[in-house]
Structure 1
């Protein structure tokens, strides 16, 4: 092959590569600016046929979101659902009409979000979006993020640490380590004994000291061999844990034993117990206390 032909082919290849890079750079610049305007500036009307293909598709489950109006309505939930929004493109790169971005979304849930009423929770979530462009417009998007973490931050789904924390409290109680039980209670914990229980006379107990003096000290003074048995923990929504168990012990003044059915409902936030509600067979307790 003649050198002139080789040089022509090389030059042509570089020309195509240069054009492709220029196209990708243009797509990325447009794409990044549009989403900055939509999310950070709240300019939802940037979702239009100038920036998006008329058949824009968000790959989603159980069904895709198709068309400008549906796509716009979907993202309106983020604009009206959150305040103090900060949307950051951590990294973005592409090839031809394909773009991938790594993003971070921060905001405070102060409005309706897909039917979820405001929780006042702060969210800080990261994800990745794969995008396809068509004729310089955004044609298809698919988001990848940890929805479980997102729901946990909103307080809708429970933290996976809740059950293990409550289990540790029962273990501390079993060996008489009350200081560690109290250390896992929020400073303003709201503690309620079951109605009809003798210790419900000062409901609600607010704060660890109140729980110590109003419940735990009295338990130690009133009962011999007081134990919690057959403990089963059940993870609930809204950062709650339900415990089903039994109380065993002997009331000191009457020497009468109990084997009572019990349920405890624990509410947690940020790794601390914020509320406790006891449910117990109070008739059995009253019979044991009765001379």
Structure 2
């Protein structure tokens, strides 16, 4: 696939993470894809693994939405910067709901093969998120 095609897939991927569509997951994510997630020793795998990541976020922030702010692509890789916004309405990493809103950046790197994501290194600003819900002091 071309660089432009991979960038188009990133826009569709953003639709997927905002809807948690199983159909889009199966279309956009390779069955053997690997996702490296902060605070997890083992990588998540395949469409089901990514749906589990989204479910974990939605448990704490049921209204969470990701906005793709920018991306850079080269060869089979895409670097993307997202803004995540949501309301802390459920338990998240053991912290009870506060009703506070969050606005957090994430920097992720993706590798594509045949139009599907085969690897992601995700790095959301977890410190900023935990500070915004009051789980960690701001300074």
Q: Where on the TM-score scale, by shorter chain, does this alignment land: which range? A: 0.7 to 0.9
- Find the aligned partners of 2:25 and 2:66 in 1 and give their Cα distance: 20
Give the Cα separation in 2 of the matches to 1:84 and 1:131.
24
Report deviation, 1:81.
2.6
Uncovered stretches (5+) of structure 1, i.e. residues with no partner:
1-19, 161-291
Provide the rounded CA distance (Å) in 2 between the counterparts of 1:141 and 1:47: 16
**Which structure has more helix as a fraction of its residues?**
1
- Pick the aligned partner of 1:45 from 8, 11, 22: 22
Q: C-alpha offsets along residues 81-140 of structure 1, whole Å, 9 cap, x if unaligned? A: 324434211111201210011111111011243554322111111121100011110111
Alignment of 1:209-248 (within 5 A): none
Moved over 4 A (4+): none
Correspondence 1:124-163 to 2 at 5 A: 124-160=103-139
Alignment match of 1:97 (pick from 72, 76, 86): 76
Higher alpha-carbon Rg:
1
Equivalent in the alignment of 1:122 = 101
Aligned CA distance change for structure 1 residues 86 and 69 (closer, same or farther; 3 Å) = closer
Q: TM-score, normalised by structure 2?
A: 0.84
SS state at 1:77 partner: helix
Query: SS where residue 50 of structure 1 aligns?
Result: helix
Higher RCO, 1 or 2 (CA under 8 Å, sep at least 6)? 2
Unaligned runs of 5+ in 2: none
Whole-Å separation in 2 of the counterparts to 1:34 and 1:46: 11
Inter-partner Cα distance in structure 1 for 2:21 and 2:60: 13
What is the CA RMSD across the aligned residues, in angstroms?
2.0
SS of match in other structure, 2:26: coil
Distance in 1 between residues matched to 2:21 and 2:17, nearest whole Å: 5
- Residue by residue over 1:212-261, the C-alpha shift from the partner in whole angstroms, topping out at 9 and shown as x without a partner, is xxxxxxxxxxxxxxxxxxxxxxxxxxxxxxxxxxxxxxxxxxxxxxxxxx
TM-score (norm 1): 0.43
Q: Work out the CA distance in 1 between the residues paired with 2:46 and 2:16.
A: 20
